[in-house]
Amino acid sequence: MTRIGKILAIFVAVASLSFVGFAVATVFGGPDWQSIMAADYFNGYRITKSAGPEATWTAIRGSDEQQVASSKVLPEVLSKVMDEIIQNNTTRMQELQSKLPILEARIAELDAARQADKKALDKYVEFRAQELEKIRAQESDLATQVVAATNEAQKLENLVEARREDILRLKQQVEELRVDLFRLKEIDSQLNNLQAQIEGNLQVAKLRQKLLQDQTSK
């Protein structure tokens, strides 16, 4: 039995038990009419008693203010009200029963759609999980590449720094060589001057020696 069918069965059982209780109280006498009229199934009706020696009980339907029953005997009024309640319930149940196949078909359709949606959702979740795994693998690979690139950059930076130090050292050596060359040029110039002086002095000495020899030979 479907869920809607169970609800209808319970509804019928409750209504039947309520009516049976009312009938038993009426047959065996001595019912508490005020308690009976206060029952839930009389909520949609207003039951009043007119004043006077010929008092009459009247039941008015609350939804449209139409009279349902009128009698000097209260059980007759209540019976007619119950007849209408039962008739309304029967009509309502027939309407629900007629809608039941449509609702059950709709439920089956929705359940099939739900199953299809679940399969599609499961596929989508699996696809996204695979994509996420790929992204994580790519992130790991990129992280490895970043570390490798960072290390390579550090090596190049160290190499550049070493080259810079070599250049500074070579520049210093070149500067020292230039200073040494300048000093050598000065020394060479001084030696040339000294050589010229010596040669000049030697020429003078030779002339004096010749003069002395000439004077001695006379």
Q: Quick: pLDDT tens for 122-181.
A: 888 888 889 888 898 888 888 888 888 888 888 888 888 888 888 888 888 888 888 878
Q: What is the mean pLDDT of residues 185-200?
A: 82
211, HSE (Cβ side, Cα atoms, 13 Å): 6
**Tally of residues, the chain:** 218
Q: Taken in order 192, 194, 195, 196, is the CA torsion positive or negative?
A: positive
Q: Round the CA-based radius of gyration of the chain to a whole number and report it.
A: 64
User: Does 27 have pLDDT greater than 50?
Assistant: no
d(CA 131, CA 42): 64
Element counts in the chain: helices (H) and strands (E)? 3, 3
For 76-106, write each residue's pLDDT tens digit. Answer: 999 999 999 999 989 998 988 888 898 888 8
Q: What tokens does 82 get?
A: 């119950």
- CA 78 to chain CA centroid, Å, is 62
pTM summary value: 0.41
